[in-house]
Amino acid sequence: MTESAAKSRVRCRDIMTGSVKTATREHTLKDVAALMRDGDMGSVPVVEGGKLVGIVTDRDIVVRSIAEGRDASTSVAEAMTTDIFAVKPDDFVFEAIRLMGDKQVRRVPVVDNDGTLVGIIAMADIALEMEDEKEIAETLEEISSGSAFWSKN
């Protein structure tokens, strides 16, 4: 098997970050903002009983909450995104890349068959998997810009 064929067979479980900081619906925006600051991250998955129920991003805090007049004591439930796009641990990484490009997101949660959060894949995880600098730059540019990733010649 060629090296590029082997790379195309990498599974999400192989590159995901498994220890993910999470919040609950009851956390406040201040709590989540502190988690983001301390963990140097822009989103926090929201779980209930271990199951993924939403994601709150730094953008959700600013655009859905602060700009609408809510304060830092607002619950995560009022600001989180509940329309979640996730992959399974055994999915190929290209599925995570496709989701990032299609949905214009920089992180994709990894959930098992019953919806339990088991990890998260960020653009940086994908970049680390690709050795060719040009390939990394092109892939990240396409994810960020929303270019049709799969229509490359």
Q: What does the angle CA 134 – CA 137 – CA 139 come to, to the nearest 5 degrees?
A: 105
Number of domains in the chain: 1
Domain that holds residue 100: 3-151
Q: In this predicted structure, what is the pLDDT of residue 10?
A: 87
- Place 106 in a pLDDT band, splitting at 50, 70 and 90: confident
Model pTM? 0.78
| Domain harbouring 11, CATH code | 3.10.580.10
* Burial (CB count <10 Å: 0-12, 13-18, 19+), residue 37: exposed
* Residues 53 and 9: beta-carbon distance below 8 Å: no
Residue range 122-149, pLDDT digits in tens: 988 887 776 655 565 566 666 666 555 4
Instruction: Match 């190929």 to its residue by tokens.
Output: 92
Asked if residues 13 and 119 have their Cβ atoms less than 8 Å apart, the reply is yes
Average pLDDT, the chain: 84
- Lookup: tokens for 49: 């009983």
* Span 62-88, average pLDDT: 92
- State the angle between helix axes of 133-145 and 93-103 in degrees (0 to 180), rounded to the nearest 10: 40
pLDDT band at 21 (very low <50, low <70, confident <90, very high): very high
Higher-confidence residue: 53 or 143?
53
Instruction: In whole angstroms, give the CA distance from residue 139 to residue 144.
Output: 9
